[in-house]
């Protein structure tokens, strides 16, 4: 086998994030045993969900005291089960392996039984709550300046009280379906009469986290916090550690919401490609719009979604391709613990426990390792440059092209979306997609390739089969030529 070199300049690698879900992996002194596997799979970040002391519900995201560790994760022999010292040891172990540590930053709400609600009621949103007398359930919340009508909520059935507001979410497909998180109290991050005091509290919290040697933050529901607040807090953090990374959760956001979030100075946002069917235009269109404001992070599943293995009946080929697609789609990628083993139980912020660890349905760790290495080597997979999407073969196959922002490198993915039948792909003019004055190579995950002969390409793709084409100019990567 000969070797053929194309030039690919050094590039900054995007985040490849492994979500170590704390409720599944027991106390912190047990976490280190996962680090060799995480490192071997080629991840460069370890992300952990909230570890702070929780309120009555026990939800990881219902934080009662930010500055105390949740005793659930303390080692059995810990003198102080609320001490953060064991986490510092774990972060040191991550750093020793070249892994950076990312933590979930939750500042859009607290637990409703947090003492902050009593000590600083001015930091929270308050509303009229309509309560069903028979069940004690909150039916609806109204702003204080727009109380509910007694005709609609008769006093013999309902009572109305001024209460701290619970966060709510409206189902976009049915506005009548409203989810209310009764264990949470909604922070007034925009209209508080004591914004200075609230901001100082968040600054103190971020400084505390940075003292624990955290390297970055995944900011929960970032779109629910004003960009001016994020700008102050991110500037504060980067003043302490210029390399600290901020990633903002923006799933389901409009372009205006994304623009608003990224004005706060986020390094990355999360995209919705997990829900893409590889056919509709919304996903690449959204990518091309959002990339102008911040690069993004893809994932095949998350702690908020059902497990992909359950949705696909443990189809290992689907599990494999979905991770590869996430790794290729955007500058960053994220994967939760258990994905590599085909775990089927959904992660739960209240109920998940170590005994929920499942027997492996399969083990695709080595494939993820190759996908991560492939991603790390190719510049256009570590930034969000222009993207092109087309449906081929009557819609049965997909073409997806990514480029570097300087349009000096292309990676072309052609994929048979049909899981039942093979489909022929015939491209009579490759220059429509790869127009650089440089050789085109068909490559695999090991960066082994063969030069494309001519300007046409034709192949019968088997179900779920994919092909990569690569083109580059002026950089420095070795491609092994499959030939003599």
CATH number at residue 299: 3.20.20.80
Note whether 204 and 307 are same-domain residues. yes
> Does position 127 have pLDDT exceeding 50, yes or no?
yes
Domain-located, residue 252: yes
Mean pLDDT, rounded, for 204-226: 97
Domain-located, residue 202: yes
Note whether 251 and 346 are same-domain residues. yes
Note whether 336 and 428 are same-domain residues. no
SS3 124: strand
Domain-located, residue 424: yes
- Give the range among 97-101, 150-154, 232-236, 354-358 with minimum mean pLDDT: 150-154
236-248: string of b/e by CB count within 10 Å (b at 16+)? bbeeeeeebbbbb
> Does position 74 have pLDDT exceeding 80, yes or no?
yes
State which of 317, 348, 381 marks the end of a domain.
381
State which of 186, 215, 245 marks the end of a domain.
186
Q: Is the Cβ–Cβ distance between 392 and 425 less than 8 Å?
A: yes
Do the strands 45-48 and 168-171 form a parallel or antiparallel pair, or are they unpaired? unpaired
In this predicted structure, what is the pLDDT of residue 180? Answer: 81
Say if pTM beats, i.e. exceeds, 0.85: yes
In this predicted structure, what is the pLDDT of residue 110? Answer: 98
DSSP structural state of residue 45: E
- Give the residue among 361, 389, 392, 461 at the shortest CA–CA distance from 420: 461
Note whether 178 and 197 are same-domain residues. no
Note whether 353 and 302 are same-domain residues. yes
Note whether 373 and 228 are same-domain residues. yes
Strand partners, 110: 185
Q: DSSP letter string over 300-361?
A: S--TTS--HHHHTTS-HHHHHHHHHHHHHHSSEEEEETTGGGT--SPP-TTT--GGG----S
Mean pLDDT, rounded, for 105-110: 97
Domain-located, residue 3: no
CA angle 361, 362, 368 (to 5 degrees): 135
Note whether 246 and 309 are same-domain residues. yes
- Give the residue among 178, 93, 193 at the shortest CA–CA distance from 139: 178
CA angle 235, 104, 387 (to 5 degrees): 75
Note whether 249 and 353 are same-domain residues. yes
Q: Rounded to an integer, what distance in angstroms lies between the CA atom of residue 295 and that of residue 309? A: 28
State which of 342, 357, 381 marks the end of a domain.
381
Q: Rounded to an integer, what distance in angstroms lies between the CA atom of residue 26 and that of residue 179? A: 30
pLDDT in tens, 379-401: 999 999 999 999 999 999 999 99
Q: Is the Cβ–Cβ distance between 398 and 415 less than 8 Å?
A: yes
Domain-located, residue 170: yes
Q: Rounded to an integer, what distance in angstroms lies between the CA atom of residue 188 and that of residue 108? A: 8
Q: CATH number for the domain including 416?
A: 2.60.40.1180
Note whether 209 and 310 are same-domain residues. yes
Domain-located, residue 300: yes
Sequence-ordered list of residues with C-beta below 8 angstroms from that of 278, at least 6 positions apart, any chain = 398, 415, 417
Q: In the structure encoding, which two tokens stand for residue 455, read together?
A: 């300007």
Domain-located, residue 426: yes
Note whether 329 and 438 are same-domain residues. no
pLDDT in tens, 322-366: 999 999 999 999 999 999 999 999 999 999 999 999 999 999 999
Q: Rounded to an integer, what distance in angstroms lies between the CA atom of residue 24 and that of residue 353? A: 5
CA angle 25, 27, 30 (to 5 degrees): 65
- Going by pLDDT thresholds of 50, 70 and 90, the confidence category of residue 7 is very low
Q: What total of structural domains would you count in the chain?
A: 3
Note whether 168 and 271 are same-domain residues. no
194-228: string of b/e by CB count within 10 Å (b at 16+)? ebeebbebbbebbeebbeebbbbbbbbbbbbbbbe
Domain-located, residue 311: yes
Note whether 377 and 394 are same-domain residues. no
Q: What is the phi/psi pair of residue 390, to 5°?
A: -140, 150
Strand partners, 219: 105, 248
In sign, the C-alpha dihedral spanning 310, 315, 320, 321 is negative
Q: Rounded to an integer, what distance in angstroms lies between the CA atom of residue 101 and that of residue 112? A: 28
pLDDT in tens, 28-72: 999 999 999 999 999 999 999 999 999 999 999 999 999 999 999
In this predicted structure, what is the pLDDT of residue 3? Answer: 44
Range of the domain at 393: 387-481
């Amino acid at each position: 086998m000969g070797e053929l070199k194309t030039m690919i300049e050094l590039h900054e690698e995007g985040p490849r994030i492994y979500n170590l879900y704390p409720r599944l992996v027991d106390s912190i002194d047990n976490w280190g045993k996962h680090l060799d596997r995480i490192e071997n799979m080629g991840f460069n970040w370890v992300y952990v969900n909230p570890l702070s002391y929780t309120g009555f519900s026990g939800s990881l995201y219902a934080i009662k005291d930010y500055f105390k560790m949740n005793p659930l994760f303390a080692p059995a022999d810990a003198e102080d089960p609320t001490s953060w010292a064991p986490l510092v040891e774990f972060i040191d172990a991550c750093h020793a392996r070249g892994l950076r540590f990312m933590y979930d930053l939750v500042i859009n709400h607290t637990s409703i039984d947090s003492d902050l609600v009593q000590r600083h009621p001015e930091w929270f949103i308050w509303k009229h709550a309509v309560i069903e007398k028979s069940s004690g359930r909150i039916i609806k919340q109204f702003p204080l300046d727009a109380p509910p009508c007694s005709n609609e909520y008769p006093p013999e059935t309902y009572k109305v009280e001024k209460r701290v507001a619970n966060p709510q979410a409206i189902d976009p497909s049915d506005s009548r379906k409203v989810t209310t998180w009764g264990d949470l109290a909604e922070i007034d991050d925009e209209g508080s009469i004591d914004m200075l005091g609230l901001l100082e509290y968040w600054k103190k919290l971020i400084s505390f986290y940075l003292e624990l040697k955290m390297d970055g933050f995944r900011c929960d529901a970032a779109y629910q916090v004003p960009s001016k607040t994020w700008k102050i807090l991110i500037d504060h953090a980067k003043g302490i550690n210029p390399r600290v990374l901020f990633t903002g959760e923006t799933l389901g956001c409009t372009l205006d919401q994304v623009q608003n979030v990224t004005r706060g100075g986020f390094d990355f946002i999360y995209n919705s490609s997990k829900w893409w069917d590889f056919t509709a235009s919304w996903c690449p269109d959204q990518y091309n719009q959002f990339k102008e404001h911040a690069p993004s992070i893809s994932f095949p599943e998350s702690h908020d979604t059902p497990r992909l293995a359950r949705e696909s009946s443990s189809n290992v080929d689907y599990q494999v391709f979905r991770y590869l697609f996430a790794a290729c789609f955007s500058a960053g990628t994220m994967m939760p613990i258990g994905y590599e083993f085909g775990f089927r139980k959904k992660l739960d912020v209240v109920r998940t426990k170590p005994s929920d660890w499942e027997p492996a349905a399969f083990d695709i760790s080595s494939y993820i390792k190759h996908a991560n290495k492939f991603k790390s080597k190719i510049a256009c997979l570590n930034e969000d440059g222009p993207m092109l999407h087309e449906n081929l073969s009557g819609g049965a196959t997909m073409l997806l092209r990514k480029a570097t922002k300087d349009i000096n490198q292309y990676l072309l993915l052609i994929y048979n979306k049909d899981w039942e039948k093979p489909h022929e792909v015939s491209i009579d003019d490759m220059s429509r997609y790869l127009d650089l004055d440089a050789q085109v190579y068909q490559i695999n995950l090991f960066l082994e390739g063969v030069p494309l002969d001519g300007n046409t390409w034709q192949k019968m793709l088997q179900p779920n089969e994919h092909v990569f084409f690569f083109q580059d100019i002026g950089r420095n990567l070795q491609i092994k030529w499959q030939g003599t």
